[in-house]
């Protein structure tokens, strides 16, 4: 993804999130980290980021990966440095074997 992915803004313009997107044939992978570059219009100061964090009621899982296969989202994961993780979506199917073959 680092070599061939493209940085894109998150669809919600109020979010500072930047996505690394890779599309290949029937696959679409979307990855984000708190370290993706901000657009020029987004505040990058530590104070701004801390203010955003203070608005949340529970700690965010700052890393994520979404996988689409043939237009359907088949996997969505969130995780943090400390090892906390959450599977948001997992759809069983033929895509699993295809993913393993990649």
According to DSSP, the β-strands at 85-90 and 6-9 are unpaired
* Residue located via tokens 């608005």: 55
Q: How many helices (H) and strands (E) does the chain have?
A: 2, 6
User: What tokens does 81 get?
Assistant: 């440095």
61 and 80 Cβ atoms separated by less than 8 Å: yes
User: What tokens does 32 get?
Assistant: 């984000």
Does pTM surpass 0.95? no
Say how many CA atoms lie within 13 Å of 44 toward its Cβ.
Answer: 9
20 and 6 Cβ atoms separated by less than 8 Å: yes
Domain spans, the chain: 6-101
Residue by residue, pLDDT tens for the chain (102 residues) are 888 998 887 665 556 667 899 999 999 999 988 765 554 455 555 555 556 556 655 557 889 999 999 999 999 999 998 899 999 999 999 999 999 998
């Amino acid at each position: 993804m680092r070599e061939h992915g493209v940085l894109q803004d998150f669809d919600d313009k109020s979010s500072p999130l930047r996505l690394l997107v890779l599309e290949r044939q029937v696959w679409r992978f979307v990855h984000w980290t708190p370290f993706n570059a901000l657009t020029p219009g987004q505040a990058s100061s530590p104070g701004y980021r801390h203010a955003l964090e203070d608005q949340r009621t529970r700690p965010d899982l700052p890393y994520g990966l979404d996988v689409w296969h043939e237009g359907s989202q088949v996997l969505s994961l969130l995780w943090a440095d400390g090892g906390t993780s959450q599977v948001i979506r997992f759809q069983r199917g033929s895509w699993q074997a295809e993913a393993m073959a990649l």
